[in-house]
């Protein structure tokens, strides 16, 4: 999953369990390009140490992105760079039971669950960002979104 700076999903690619993430980097970034449309001229991709290879750097250069990759062998701090935003996005999406323990064999069904959870996460984030800006009489005082 590729996210923007606040955790809203931009591009999602599904794969089987226990697979390494690095082969999915290029399809995920291409999905973000296709789904979002026009991207800023300078896009920075923050990756963890599992992506620390020349192949990844070449792929990022071909796509026109810059990358910050945590070096291998060094312990990552609690919030390693800006990676925590993506991890938080995964946690939001994993809050839905079906994507977390999906046993479907058909990839279309898996993609439906992934895209539905991403849509709900996006909607919740937009509501959270809009709530303090737009106030009205009788607005609920609770911060919990139902």
Contact 24, 54 (CB under 8 A): no
Does residue 146 fall inside a structural domain? no
> How many domains does the chain contain in total?
1
Strand partners, 47: 69
Radius of gyration of the chain (CA): 17
Task: Tell me the pLDDT tens digit for each residue of 54-90.
Answer: 898 999 998 888 888 877 776 555 455 566 677 777 7
Does residue 141 fall inside a structural domain? no
Domain hosting residue 9, numbered range = 2-130
Contact 50, 21 (CB under 8 A): yes
Cα 90 to Cα 3: distance, rounded to the nearest angstrom: 10
Instruction: With 0.85 as the threshold, say if the pTM is over it.
Output: no
- The CATH number of the domain where 103 resides is what? 3.30.420
């Amino acid at each position: 999953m590729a996210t923007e700076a606040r955790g809203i999903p931009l591009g999602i690619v599904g794969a089987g369990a226990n697979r390494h993430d690095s082969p999915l980097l290029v399809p995920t970034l291409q999905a973000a390009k296709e789904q979002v449309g026009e991207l800023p001229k300078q896009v920075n991709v923050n990756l963890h140490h599992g992506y620390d290879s020349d192949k990844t750097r070449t792929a990022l250069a071909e796509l026109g992105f810059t990358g910050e990759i945590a070096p291998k062998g060094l312990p990552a701090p609690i919030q390693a760079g800006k990676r925590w935003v993506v991890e938080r996005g995964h946690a939001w999406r994993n809050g839905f039971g079906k994507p977390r323990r999906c046993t479907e064999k058909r990839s279309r069904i898996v993609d439906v669950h992934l895209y539905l959870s991403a849509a709900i996460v996006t909607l919740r984030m937009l509501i959270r960002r809009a709530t303090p800006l737009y106030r009205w009489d009788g607005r609920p005082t609770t911060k919990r979104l139902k």
